[in-house]
Amino acid sequence: MLRRTPYFKPGASAHAVRYFLFALAALAISHYGSAQDTPLISGGVGFFTSTNAGSTTYLPITEPLLAAPLGQHILVESRAALLETFAPNGDNQPGYNHTHFIGLTYLQADYIAARHFTVVGGYFLIPFNTYNERLTPIWISNFQDGPLILPLGLFSSGSGLGGMLRGNAIQRNKYSIDYSYFYSTRSAKEQFTAERGNGGSANLYLPEQRLELGLSYDRLLQGTHENFYGAHAWWEPKDTGFRLRSEFARGHHAQGYWIEADYRLKAFGGADSVVGRLEPLFRIQQTFRRDTIASDGLPPVNTQRADFGLDYNLPHNTRILTSYARQFSATGDHNVWETGIVYRFLFPAWKGKQQ
C-alpha cells in the first residue's frame, strides 16, 4: 500500500474540486495583476502495482500542482491527489473492490517579507524531517511507498492548518542554516483535516561537502499531548550519481529509522545513455515499539524491512519504478513487489509577455 494514500479522504470529491478551483481563481487574478509572473501548472501522472503477501493492488494516480505568483512577494501554492484503487475482495471472495479518493495535499500562500523571512498561511505540509515536504510527490520519490516511520510527527494527516515562519537564518560561503516554525489549529473539515500542535526544524547545509544535517521537533497539543523528535542526514557527493538519505524519528510509543542510497549510472556513457539511465536503489529501515499502544500508524511490533529497487529514467520526464522488499516481524515475514511508471508534466498556465 502506498504510504501517502492514508492521508486522502473518500467522499470528498466536490469539496476538493471546489478548493482547487479557488486556487485556480487566484491564478487568474495573478494573470490580470502581472502577466509577466506566469503561473505554472505541474505535477505527475502514474500507474502503480503493489503485490503484498500475494495480494496485488492497482493504483492509477494524478497529482496536479499549482504555483501562482501574485506580484513580487506573494506565491499561492497547491497540490491535490486523485487516486483510484483496485484491490482484491477480502474473505476469499473473487473479483476486485474499487475505491476512489480526491483530496488536497496542501493549499497555502507564501509572503516573502524579507531575505531571511517568509510567512506561510493556509493548509501546509508539516515540516517534520524531510520526507513529507520533499519526497512525497510521485515524480520525486525513488520508491512507491514511503518509509515505515513516516507517520511519526505528522499529526495523522500530514498537514497543518494555520501559519508558519521559515527562511534562511544564516548564509555564508561555507555553510548555511535554515529554519521553520509552525502552529496548527484543530480542524475537522473534510478537506482541511488537521490537529492542534506546533513545532519546527533547523538544517545545516555544507555546500563544499554537499552535506545536510537537520533536527526536527513538534508537539501534539490535543488529546494526549505527545512530543516527536526527528533528525536527518543527506549527502550528495559532487560530480557523482550517488545520493545517501536518512532519517530518524522518535515518538511517545515508537521510534525508528531509514537509510536510502541510490546511484545513477551516468558514469557509463553519460546520464542519457542506455546504461546511464539506470538507477539502482537500496533502503533499509527498522521500527521499534516503546510500548504496546499502536496508535501512531507504525507496525504494532518491532519490524525490519529491506527494499531493493531499480528505476529507469526515460526521456521526457518519465520514470519506470521497480522494487522488491522483504519485511520481517514477529507477526510474520512477507514479500512486497512493486512496479510503476510516472510522467512529470510542467507547463505555464498561459503565454507570458515577451520582454
Query: What pLDDT, on the 0 to 100 scale, is given for residue 10?
Result: 40
- Count the neighbouring beta carbons within 10 Å of the beta carbon of residue 293: 12
Query: What pLDDT, on the 0 to 100 scale, is given for residue 54?
Result: 80
Question: How far is the C-alpha of 290 from the C-alpha of 296, rounded, in Å?
Answer: 11
Query: What pLDDT, on the 0 to 100 scale, is given for residue 3?
Result: 42
Question: How far is the C-alpha of 152 from the C-alpha of 227, rounded, in Å?
Answer: 10
CA atoms within 13 A on the CB side of 330: 7
Q: Please give the model's pTM, rounded to 2 decimal places.
A: 0.88
Query: What pLDDT, on the 0 to 100 scale, is given for residue 328?
Result: 97
Task: Choose among 149, 145, 155, 157: nearest CA to 299.
Answer: 149
Q: Residue 184 is placed in which grid cell?
A: 496548527
Walk along the chain (355 residues) in steps of 10 and give the mean pLDDT of each run: 41 54 55 64 96 90 94 94 90 84 94 94 97 96 95 94 97 96 94 95 97 98 95 96 97 97 94 96 97 88 97 96 96 95 91 60
Query: What pLDDT, on the 0 to 100 scale, is given for residue 7?
Result: 41
- Count the neighbouring beta carbons within 10 Å of the beta carbon of residue 182: 22
Q: What's the CATH number for 107-348? A: 2.40.160.10
Block residue for cell numbers 484543530:
186
Question: How far is the C-alpha of 344 from the C-alpha of 139, rounded, in Å?
Answer: 6
Block residue for cell numbers 545513477:
264
Residue 11, SS3 per DSSP: coil
54 Cβ neighbours under 8 A, 6+ residues apart: none
